[in-house]
Chain A
Amino acid sequence: MEYLLLQILNGVQLGLLMFLLAAGLTLTFGIMDLVNLAHGSLYMMGAYIAWTLIAWTDSFVLGALLTLPATFVLGIVVERVVARRLYARDHLDQVLATFGLILFFNELVRVIWGPAGKSIAVPRFLAHTIEIMPGAPYPAYRFAIIVVGAAVALLLAWLVARTRVGMLIRAGASNRRMIAALGINIELLFSLVFGLGAVFAALAGLMAAPVTSVKIGMGDDILILAFVIIVIGGIGSIKGAFVAAMLVGQIDIIGRAFLPDMLKTFLSPSAAASAAPSISQVLVYVLMAGVLIWRPTGLFGQRN
């Protein structure tokens, strides 16, 4: 029972991280109609910039807080230099150009930080476990990820649903030409959304860093998962991204945690251990295929 609860918490934690990544992606996708493969690079840059700033300030919290404006600026630069030229292009051009951005950023990281991975230590004040239930200790840092992730998700929900900027974002997602015609400075809105997406991606990257590791290409595979999430949720829908991220987080963790034991009944232990993570990944893609066959525009996508 405790084990199950801990695994569900792990799933929530993964889901919230994925949501942070997917939120920016679904906004740029929904509003600017941009397939941004380089979103994973912003996740990676967030982790690397945080590594530098944490080492420089000698404080996790301070370094992390400084990383956010830094990546906001980075996002704006990427938007101004490359991304905005792509909005009007077809998806193939976007895939190609943002693939180029991935190569560029991976190599840039190698030039600046070197080929070896980095690690960010869990901050000292969170390097302990807390008992969420008697007899079920849970790492405080992972719990902090859940708290921060949930807070940011709520903040985003408030921003999108209750503020004027959010109103413009929603309007942009449903008809960007119309809001441009109504006199809204759409270029500024696009920059803002892209920068905001970069901040969320970077936040996900830096929070994930102490539990995974900071390495070149860390954003590449997780990016694909983020794409799967926004496609399942429906492109442009924040709510869809949230629901899909939670689903994917649970499938992934449950798969990893419980499949090995189930597989051991008919596979050798080592085969079961190596097959389980793969099967949980496969399940995620099966879910996506199933959703698309059932609803070709995702769970919360606009049907037109």
Chain B
Amino acid sequence: MATLLASLRSPRGLLTVLVLVLLAVLPLLTQAFDQRYLLSIGTRIVIWAIAAVSLNMILGYGGLVSFGHAVFFGVGGYAVGILSANGLHSGWLQWPVGILAAATWAALVGTLSLRTRGVYFIMITLAFAQLVYYIGAGLEAYGADDGLNISRSRFPGVIDLRDKASFYWLCFVLLCGTLWFCQRFANSRFGFVLRGAKSNDLRMTALGFPVFRYRLAAFTISGAFGGLAGILLANEGAYISPAMMSWIKSGDLIIIVVLGGMGTLFGPLYGAIAFFALEEFLPPLLDLGGKDWGEYWQIVFGPMLILIALYARGGIDSLLGRTEGRRNG
């Protein structure tokens, strides 16, 4: 509590508290102003933020450029969808299965791909994601390319996921849990080994740390949280499809993490907010020009990404002062 109050004195802390409070009361706000549509954007932001935080654990803290993180959307989502299509609707079953499946897949992919470096690592994570994508696209019984409408997970007597506000709050609580975990993770001995390996893995190996095993553990944990995000995503739309794990989505996740600030705790959350805000508000802004240019918002967003990659690697977080960003630079 004391640290929380102390954090209010810096602009970074103030913004963080402000954002979290705003997110916490979002359903009340959208109801008061009768803007239900904003709640669905808010839900997507929160779910994507969970996935982005999980990607940040390996990308930001570990320096491992995984270009297939959206695969965990798919694994988590398809676990829910396949169980639900076979009449097993209980969330108490679906959710652990989804998370376990994602963690198992992450452990498997990690075992094979963490032996490679650099571009090869990027490509092999991408290839494994594509592999699952095509498996999803080939599952005739579960909608193949077109996807499948599913019924939402059931937690009888606890929560009704069909209620948009309850679902949002559940996602929000899970996001807070993920952030809490990530904070503990990053500042633990484990996290420091991982960050050490990012800056110099030879040195860490020389110091006697089994770098590969640390990375594999981080990759697996990250996959488990990604699976959780996938479970939520499937429940958000009551729909699963291979498109949720296309490589474009993996790219979007990387954008979100970099946009927010790699290797910072709240960066991925800011990134998710900024990403979806741009997607929602850039089109109407462009429409102000008089013509219907809003439809073509990506023609502005694409060059923005190039500029961010070239000149603004610290992301949004670095705009808030250098204390935290530097430590991880």
Contacts and interface: CB of A to CB of B under 8 A. Distances in A.
Interface in B121-139: 122-124, 126-128, 130-131, 134-135, 137-139
A83 B35 CA distance: 43
Interface in A259-284: 268, 270-271, 274-279, 281-282
A111 B292 CA distance: 11
Nearest to A280: B134
B18 interface: no
A92 B119 contact: no
Contacts of B128: 285, 289
Interface stretch (A94-102, A140-148, A179-187, A188-196): A94-102
Given A95-B254, A289-B112, A275 B302 contact: no
A95 B122 contact: yes
A224 B68 CA distance: 12
Contact of B130 (A82, A100, A224): A224
A133 interface: no
B131 A285 contact: yes
B124 A288 contact: yes
B116 A292 contact: yes
Contact of B302 (A35, A102, A277, A285): A102
Nearest to A34: B119
A282 B119 contact: no
Given A95-B122, A289-B124, A293-B112, A274 B310 contact: no
B198 to A, nearest CB: 12
B181 interface: no
Given A100-B302, A227-B126, A285-B128, A95 B65 contact: yes
Contacts of B290: none
Contacts of B313: 93
A296 interface: yes
Given A29-B119, A110-B296, A296-B115, A99 B305 contact: yes
B144 to A, nearest CB: 5
B192 to A, nearest CB: 22
B309 A89 contact: yes
A220 B250 CA distance: 13
A93 B258 CA distance: 9
Given A95-B67, A96-B255, A108-B299, A293 B134 contact: no
Contacts of B138: 274-279, 282
A286 interface: yes
A289 B69 CA distance: 17
Contacts of A285: 127-128, 130-131, 134
B107 to A, nearest CB: 15
A269 B135 CA distance: 17
A107 B298 contact: yes
B296 A107 contact: yes
Contacts of A220: 247-248
Nearest to B63: A92
A297 B118 CA distance: 11
B210 to A, nearest CB: 19
Interface in B10-27: none
A251 B112 CA distance: 22
Contacts of B144: 274
B108 to A, nearest CB: 11
A235 interface: yes
B308 interface: yes
Contact of B140 (A103, A274, A289): A274
A128 interface: no
A91 B145 CA distance: 31
Contacts of B123: 227-228, 231, 288
B127 A97 contact: no
B120 interface: yes
A111 B116 contact: no
B18 to A, nearest CB: 28
B216 to A, nearest CB: 15
Contact of A92 (B65, B140, B305): B65
Nearest to B247: A224
A93 B119 CA distance: 12
Residue in B130, B135, B254, B303 whose Cβ sees the most chain A Cβ within 10 Å? B130
A107 to B, nearest CB: 4
A71 interface: no
A102 B303 CA distance: 10
Contacts of B297: 107
A296 B114 CA distance: 11
B141 interface: yes
Given A293-B112, A296-B115, A275 B306 contact: no
B141 A103 contact: no
Interface string B249-263: 001001100100000
Residue in A228, A292, A297 whose Cβ sees the most chain B Cβ within 10 Å? A292
A106 interface: yes
Given A96-B258, A100-B303, A85 B119 contact: no
Contacts of B120: 231, 292, 296-297
B301 interface: yes
Give 5 closest A-B pairs by Cβ, nearest first.
A278-B138, A100-B305, A104-B302, A103-B302, A97-B309
Given A92-B258, A108-B299, A296-B116, 17 more contacts: A91-B65, A92-B65, A94-B309, A95-B67, A100-B301, A100-B309, A104-B303, A110-B295, A110-B296, A220-B247, A231-B124, A274-B138, A275-B139, A278-B134, A279-B138, A285-B131, A292-B120
27 contacts: A35-B122, A86-B309, A91-B122, A92-B59, A93-B309, A95-B251, A96-B254, A97-B305, A100-B306, A100-B309, A101-B302, A101-B306, A103-B305, A104-B302, A104-B303, A106-B298, A107-B297, A108-B299, A227-B123, A227-B126, A271-B140, A274-B140, A274-B145, A278-B135, A288-B123, A288-B124, A289-B127
